[in-house]
Amino acid sequence: MDVLLVAVLTFAIRIALSPFKGLGFVLRGVIRLIRGALRRIRRALGKLVQVIRATPGAIWRVPIRAFKRVVVFRNWLLAKVEMLQTESQKWKTTFNILKSPYSLLRSLGLNPQMAASLLIGTSVVGGGVVVNETILAEPSFASGDSGIYSAPSDVPTFFSEAYNTLRVDLGTTPVKSLLIEDVSIGTAYAGSALPSGATQAIDVAGSGVVNTWLHVGVLTFEKNRCETLLLSEISTHTLNVKSNASDGQSLAPAAGTIRDRAVLGGHGMAADMSTKGGLYDRIWIQAPTSGVNGQVDSLTLRNVYSKGGACVLKRIKAGTINIILNEVGGDTNLATKAFQIANTVTASVINLSDNIEVSMAVPATQTMDN
| pLDDT tens digits for range 7-55 | 656 656 565 555 555 555 556 666 677 777 777 787 877 777 776 666 6
Cβ atoms of 294 and 171 closer than 8 Å = yes
Q: Dump pLDDT digits (tens) for 268-304.
A: 677 789 999 889 999 999 999 999 999 999 999 999 9
Confidence of residue 131 (pLDDT cuts 50, 70, 90): very low
Percentage of the residues of the chain whose pLDDT score is greater than 70: 74
- In the predicted model, what is the mean pLDDT of residues 87-110? 61
pLDDT (mean) for 359-364: 89
pLDDT at 170 exceeding the cut of 70: yes
What is residue 47's predicted lDDT score, i.e. its pLDDT? 76
pLDDT at position 71 is: 79
What's the rounded Cα separation, in Å, for the pair 148 and 164? Answer: 10
Residue 363 near residue 189, CB atoms below 8 Å = no
**Mean pLDDT in the chain?**
81
Predicted pLDDT of residue 97? 56
Q: 191 or 106, which is more confident? A: 191
310-323 per-position pLDDT tens digit = 999 999 999 999 99
Residue 354 backbone class (left: φ over 0; alpha: ψ -120 to 50; beta: rest): left
- Which H helix or E strand runs over 32? helix 2-99
Q: What is the per-residue pLDDT for 99?
A: 53
269: exposed, middle or buried (Cβ count in 10 Å: 0-12, 13-18, 19+): middle
More confident residue, 196 or 323: 323
pLDDT in tens, 44-71: 777 777 766 666 655 656 677 777 787 7
In the chain, domain spans? 1-91, 144-357
Of 271, 235, 246, the C-alpha closest to 329 is 246
pLDDT in tens, 145-161: 999 999 888 889 999 88
Position 153 scores a pLDDT of 86
**Which helix (H) or strand (E) element contains residue 114?**
helix 112-120
- Of 176, 172, 177, nearest in space to 293 by CA: 172
